A and B are shown apart, each in its own frame.
Chain A
Amino acid sequence: MTIRLEQDRLAADAVDYEELIQRDRVHGSLYTDADIFQKEMRDIYESQWVFVAHESEIPEAGDYVRRRIGGQPLIVARGKDLKVRVMLNRCTHRGNMLCQSDAGNATLFRCSFHGWTFSNDGRLQGVSFRGGYEQSLGELRSELGLAEAAQVGTYGGFIFANLTGDAGDLEDYLGNAKDAIDRLVRMSPAGGIDLSAGWMKHDNNANWKVVNEVQVDGYHPLFVHESLYKAIKPAKVDYSSDELRVAVRDLGGGHSEVDYTAEYQAQDREFIWFSGIPRSRVPNYIEAMEALHGPEKTHDILVEGPPHTFIWPNLFLAEMQVMYIEPLSVEQTIQYTAPIKLLGAEEMSARIIRQTEGAMGPAGFLIADDAEMGERNQVGLHAQEPEWVLFARGFDTEKIEPRGITSYDRTSETSQRGMWQHYRTLMTETSND
C-alpha cells in the first residue's frame, strides 16, 4: 500500500487529453505545464515499461549502474545469483541515497548515514547497534529490504523496468518494436551488442517529448543539418529527392521508425549506414558474418543495416548508437548516447566510437544542432498563440502495412502522430479512474 499524498491528486488529472490531442495537432501546453509533467512521470514513466540499462553494462555479479525513472533514483544491479534487479536508491531507514557512484561493483551497499548494509540483491544485511529496535534483526530484515521495481525484463540485452507492476508482458509492450531490436542484434556475428564504451550525457533545456519527436523526423534534416551536408559531407541519402524510398512508420504502442530499408535495397550497396566503407576495411567481420549466414544473407544484412527506431517512451535505436532520455523537469531532459560495439566484430569498434563522436552528443555535427532546435522549440512554445502544434503532414500518403501505419513520404509526421495517440491513451486511462 503506497501513500502518495501529493501525487494521488494531480491538477493534471482533470485535464481533457482527448481535447488537447487531436488527430492532426496537439496543444502547446503539453510541453510547458509542470502539472502535466508530474502526471506524465506517474502515469507513463512509473506505470509503464521504460528502458533502464543494457546487460553489457553490468556483465558480472555485483556490477551496478545508477539510473532514474521519473525522477526516482535507482540502482540497476546484478546480484550474486546473476539476476538483474532494479532497486530504489534509498536506505530503508531514513531515506538517504544509498549508492553514490554512477557505476561499479559491490557485494554490499553501506548507507553512509547510520551504517546499515544491504546486499546487492537488496536484502537488508546489517543494522548498526541493532539492540535499539523492538523487533528482532530477523524481523527487521524481512521488512526492510530495498524497494524494487515490480517488473524487470530483458529483450536482446536491453533491460526494461516497471515500478508499479501494472505494465503487462514485456513482449506485448515491445510489439512491433521487437523486430527492431532483432535487426540490431543480427548485425553482430556473435548475436549480441555491447555498450561498454560508455555514455555521452547531454543536458537539454527542452521537454522530453520535443527530444523524442526529432529522432524519427524525416522533415528536418535538410534544414537543421544543412551545415553538415554542405560543409562536410552529403547526407547518406538524398533528403531533397521526392523519389527517396524512405518510410516513416507508426509501429503502434508509441513506437515509431524511419525505415531506410527500401532505399538501401534499391541502391543495393553495403554499409550506406556506415559511411559507405568498403568490405576490405572489416575483413574479419565479413568472414564471421558469412560463416554464420552465408554470402547472400550477409550481403542483405549489410545492405539493410541497423534500425532507426524509437521505443516508447525513452529509448532510441539510432543505427550504430543507442540513445535514451531521462526527463528531469518539464523543461529539462538528459540525453544519453552510447556507441554500439558489435560482439564478434571488434575491428568495427573504434570506427563506431569515432562515428558516434562525430555525429552525436553535445559537440556532435548533428546532435548539437538538434539540441539547439529543441531549446528554441521550448522557448517558442511559451508563446500562447497559436495554441496548437501541427502534426498534419502526410495523412493522405499513409497506408496500413503489417508493421504499422506507413508513409513513403519521408517528411510525413506519421511517427509523431503515433507517439501522441499512444500518449493520449495513457494519459486518458488514468484520468478516468
Chain B
Amino acid sequence: MTDIQAIATPTGSVPAELVDFVVHEARLADENRYAEWESLWADDGIYWIPTGDHKDPQTQVSFVFDNRHRIGSRIAQLLSGRRHSQTPPSKMRRQLTNFEVLSDEGGEVELAANFSLFEHRYTTTVWAGRYLYRLRHTADGLSLVKKTVLLINNESAIKTIAFIL
C-alpha cells in the first residue's frame, strides 16, 4: 500500500500535464459529464473508496471498489435518468491542492492531492480527503488506471454518494 505520508516531489515541480489531467477529471465529475468522465479510464481501471485509510479490499468491505466493468455499470445507471439518488443530480465544485508525485516508473505515475468538495442536493454537504491517482502514459495521452478516495470520515456513517466522488 502506498505510504500516504511520504514526502514526494515538491508541488512546484509536479508536471503540469498531470495536474491538468486530474483537474479536468475533477471538472467532469463536478459537472456530471458522465460519458466523458468514463472515457478517461484505462481498461484495467479501479475506482476505490475504502471504509478506512488502511483497508485491504480483498478481505474488507469498501464503499466502492469498481473494476472497469462496474464503472461502466455505474455510469449506465446514472445515464438511465432513473437513478433517483441523483435525480436531480448534485451540483458540485471541488478544489484540488497539495499535489505530490509519489512514484514515477514504467510509464505510470502515482499522484496525490488533497481535495475539498462542496456538494449541493437539498442541502450542502462538505466532503474532504485525499485523492490518490495512478495515471498511465499512452500513445493517446494519459489514462486513469486507479483513483482512490480517502475520505476523512470514511470510518463513520456517511451520506449517500451516488454522484462521482
Contact = CB atoms under 8 A, between A and B. Distances in A.
Contacts of B65: 353-354, 357
A213 interface: no
Interface string A342-377: 000000011001101110011101001101110100
A196 B59 CA distance: 8
B73 A232 contact: yes
B4 interface: no
Nearest to A371: B160
Interface residues of B, number: 35
Given A202-B158, A203-B158, A231-B77, A356 B61 contact: yes
B137 interface: no
A365 B165 CA distance: 15
Contacts of A226: 80, 82
Contacts of A358: 70, 73
Nearest to B76: A231
Chain A interface size, under 10 / 10 to 19 / 20 to 34 / 35 or more: 35 or more
Contact of B73 (A356, A365, A373): A365
Nearest to B158: A362
Given A102-B155, A227-B82, A230-B82, A357 B64 contact: yes
A306 interface: no
Contact of B76 (A232, A350, A363, A368): A232
B60 interface: yes
B156 interface: yes
A230 B82 CA distance: 9
B79 A231 contact: yes
B83 interface: yes
A201 B156 contact: yes
Interface string A207-234: 0000000000000000010111011100
A200 B160 contact: no
Considering the complex of A and B, which 4 residue pairs feature the smallest CB-CB distances, nearest first? Answer: A227-B82, A201-B157, A231-B80, A372-B85
Interface of B: 49, 51-52, 55, 57-65, 70, 73-74, 76-77, 79-85, 122, 155-162, 165
